[in-house]
Amino acid sequence: MLTCQKLFNKPNKLMRFTGLTQEQYHVLVTKLQPLWERSEFKRLWHIKRKRDLGAGRHYRLIPLEDKLLVILLWYRTYTVLELLGWIFHLDATNIGRLIQKLTPLVEETADPELLTYLKKRTKETKKDSYLG
Give the pLDDT confidence of 55-108 residue by residue, as tens digits: 777 777 788 999 999 999 998 888 899 999 999 999 999 999 999 999 899 988
Q: What confidence category does residue 132 fall into, taking pLDDT thresholds of 50, 70 and 90?
A: very low
Over residues 8-64, the pLDDT tens digits come to 899 899 999 888 889 989 999 999 999 999 988 888 887 777 777 767 777 777 889
Domain parsing of the chain, residue ranges: 4-10+29-46+59-126
Say what the pTM is.
0.79
User: H-type helices in the chain, by residue range?
Assistant: 4-8, 11-18, 22-44, 64-77, 81-88, 92-109, 112-131
Specify the higher pLDDT residue, 128 or 130: 128
